[in-house]
Amino acid sequence: MLIPTYQRRDVVCAAVEALAKTDYAGEIELIVVIDGSTDGTAEALSRIETPFPVRLVQQPNRGAAAARNRAAAEARHDVLLFVDDDMLCAPDLISEHARVHLAGADAVIGDVRRDPGSAPGFMSDSNEAWLKRQGGPLTLFDVWTGQLSVRRAAFEDLGGFDEAYTDETTFANEDADLGIRLLARYDVRHNPAAISYQRFVVSPRELIRRAPLRAAGDIRLARKHPQVTRPLFEARRVSHWSTRFVFGPLSAVPLAARLWAGIAIPIAELGLRTRFRSSRTLSRFFLGARAAVYWSALRRLGWYPLSDRLLVLGYHAVQDWSEDPALKRYAVPRQLFQQHLESLFRRGYQFINPEMAARFLTDEAPLPRRAVLLTFDDCYADLPSVARAILRPRGVQAIAFAVTSVETATNEWDLARGGPPRQLLEPRDLRQLPALGIEIGSHSRTHRSLVVLSDKERRAEIEGSADDIAALDLPRPRFFAYPFGEVDDPSRDVVRDAGFAGAFGIRNAWVDRSSDRFDLDRVIVHASDRGWRFRLRTAAPALFERLDIAQARLRAKFSKASPAKPPRA
Ligand SMILES: [Zn+2]
């Protein structure tokens, strides 16, 4: 039994006293991790008599997930039972968990009810309403650490709790995160006979303080497991009329949520001390303030309202090759590349990771507003250093499209245009990219235009390159980029049948729900995209292209030079 606790001496003592009444006859041990409490928790706990050994572990405050991992690392038995410090267990709770584990379960959840010792009033009323399980198959919302037992081997195999969820910037969801991973691979069972009683002691001020942290925690969960984005925000009632017509619009009004909360906290504190403590009006007013704070935090973080549009940017080398006739247009110097990223950050764009893009395309997972995905074509040799120096420090992930079978590992397809050969990453060097946050996609085997090939050659280029990447012990590629952006129906069909999640061309537009998943629009960024040109190219790519062509024609007319060459990738 593992209990993490922080600054809740009286409640955690009640929790341990309840456990001491257990009827379980097998071997057990209790580990309490005191996560930086300064309220005398350790002394109070050491005075409690228990029929099993108790170990108190003290550590500086590191958050609930880290405290639970620490407790698990200290544990010696085969099953870990996590109990929150406000959870009073029924005497047969341990026996009920043990029974289901003996029947073969890898993890067991029970039922939680309200403890009569909870402070009365609307706060614990609404918490009780939330505790009631809805029935149906288990979902991520059912797996939470209030009362959860896991086979230790499974817990260790999954790497325990993700400690990023309970650092100082977010609150909660470390249990939902573990739940998603458990449900995907293990036998998780619900035993309604395993009962604990939650003694709800959270104050109104604390509940409001947590609201923006919860928003950040939800975003973290959505970025890591994009497939749950829709159900997650539906559970937060994103489609409910109150969000659509009240909290949503209100979240756009500066300070409105904070003002509401500023009034609601003292009223709630006062109300809870009177006979109106369970009043529905009081409850609605206070929980409304909490919702307003949550949605305005979500909007500030770029995730409200949710979006169904995606901007995909295509880069090549990040180099100053302005003297290279073949690549001067497509190689973007480092400093300019950094300016591009800063421009996007400043304008509120949200960089999404490849997993979010895949789930957007295959599972209709929604995206944050102004979602942008970074891609690199051809895998020039500078890519690892760009990722290390520029992308990783900013937390930006990307997809890089590799050409998998060019003998010289250079851009042979550009030589006809007069530039020197440029070094690409050798296939074996692609292996270092995933650790730098870059997923490898396929860009064919030899970068020949697919539209002029025979059916057999086309298959070899597309399926063969996926095989090449898999043969390097890399994950089989999920994304494809057409060489030169040239695609026709037969090559599109081969890409689809090869099992890719999506394939990119080079039309200048945003991707949306009406896009063809195997002919996705992508905006190729040029070395000339400085200042307003970059802003316009990203904000309104189709309009930019029309203006750009018009400008090029005008220039050609006056200089009698040839018009701009068509784009390539
Ligand atoms: Zn290319």
Express each pLDDT in 101-118 by its tens digit.
999 999 999 999 988 888
Q: Residue 190 falls within a domain, yes or no?
A: yes
Residues 44 and 190 placed together within one structural domain of the fold: yes
For ligand 1, the distance from its centroid to the CA atom of residue 315, given in whole angstroms, is 10
pLDDT at 355: 97
Cis-peptide, bond into residue 305, ω within 30° of zero: yes
Residues 106 and 197 placed together within one structural domain of the fold: yes
For ligand 1, the distance from its centroid to the CA atom of residue 338, given in whole angstroms, is 22
CA distance linking residue 472 with residue 428, whole number of Å: 7
CA distance to 157, 436, 461, per residue, from 429 (Å): 29, 12, 20
For ligand 1, the distance from its centroid to the CA atom of residue 343, given in whole angstroms, is 25
CATH number for the domain spanning 457: value is 3.20.20.370
For ligand 1, the distance from its centroid to the CA atom of residue 554, given in whole angstroms, is 29
CATH number for the domain spanning 96: value is 3.90.550.10
Residues 266 and 327 placed together within one structural domain of the fold: no
Q: Report the domain count for the chain.
A: 3
Q: Which residue, 202, 236, 266, sits at the end of a domain?
A: 202
pLDDT at 384: 97
Q: Residue 325 falls within a domain, yes or no?
A: yes
Q: Residue 248 falls within a domain, yes or no?
A: yes
Tokens of 77: 């038995």
Q: Which residue, 304, 333, 353, sits at the end of a domain?
A: 304
Residues 171 and 116 placed together within one structural domain of the fold: yes
For ligand 1, the distance from its centroid to the CA atom of residue 443, given in whole angstroms, is 7
Q: What's the residue count for the chain?
A: 569
pLDDT at 146: 86
- Residues 246 and 260: beta-carbon distance below 8 Å: no
CA distance linking residue 267 with residue 278, whole number of Å: 13
- Residues 405 and 461: beta-carbon distance below 8 Å: no
What average pLDDT values come out for the chain (569 residues) when binned by 10 residues? 93 95 94 93 93 94 91 95 94 97 96 87 81 73 87 96 80 88 94 92 92 93 95 93 96 95 94 90 94 96 95 97 93 97 97 98 95 97 97 97 94 89 94 97 97 96 97 97 96 96 93 96 95 93 86 79 53
272 closest CA partner among 473, 490, 122, 444? 122
In percent, the amount of the chain with pLDDT more than 90 equals 80
What's the CA dihedral at 81, 87, 93, 98 to 10 degrees?
Answer: -10
Residues 148 and 21 placed together within one structural domain of the fold: yes
Tokens of 263: 């009034």
Residues 145 and 227 placed together within one structural domain of the fold: no
For ligand 1, the distance from its centroid to the CA atom of residue 378, given in whole angstroms, is 5
Residues 132 and 190 placed together within one structural domain of the fold: yes
89 closest CA partner among 18, 193, 17, 10? 18
Per-residue pLDDT tens over the stretch 20-69: 999 999 999 999 999 989 999 999 999 999 999 999 999 999 888 999 99
For ligand 1, the distance from its centroid to the CA atom of residue 220, given in whole angstroms, is 33
For ligand 1, the distance from its centroid to the CA atom of residue 447, given in whole angstroms, is 7
Residues 92 and 232 placed together within one structural domain of the fold: no
pLDDT at 567: 54
Q: Residue 509 falls within a domain, yes or no?
A: yes
pLDDT at 135: 66
Q: Which residue, 133, 168, 202, sits at the end of a domain?
A: 202
pLDDT at 380: 97
228 closest CA partner among 163, 191, 183, 289? 183
Q: Residue 160 falls within a domain, yes or no?
A: yes
Q: Residue 556 falls within a domain, yes or no?
A: no
Residues 460 and 328 placed together within one structural domain of the fold: yes
Tokens 């129906």 identify what position?
Answer: 489
pLDDT at 130: 73
Residues 83 and 177 placed together within one structural domain of the fold: yes
Strands 87-89 and 188-198: antiparallel
Q: Residue 483 falls within a domain, yes or no?
A: yes
CA distance linking residue 182 with residue 412, whole number of Å: 47
Beta strands in 124-177 (DSSP E): 147-151
8: containing domain: 2-202
Residues 414 and 317 placed together within one structural domain of the fold: yes
pLDDT at 526: 95
What is residue 189's three-state secondary structure?
A: strand
- Residues 423 and 412: beta-carbon distance below 8 Å: no
For ligand 1, the distance from its centroid to the CA atom of residue 548, given in whole angstroms, is 22
Residues 187 and 232 placed together within one structural domain of the fold: no
For ligand 1, the distance from its centroid to the CA atom of residue 482, given in whole angstroms, is 8
Q: Residue 535 falls within a domain, yes or no?
A: no
DSSP letters along 96-127, please? Answer: HHHHHHHTT-SEEEEEEEE-TTSPPSHHHHHH
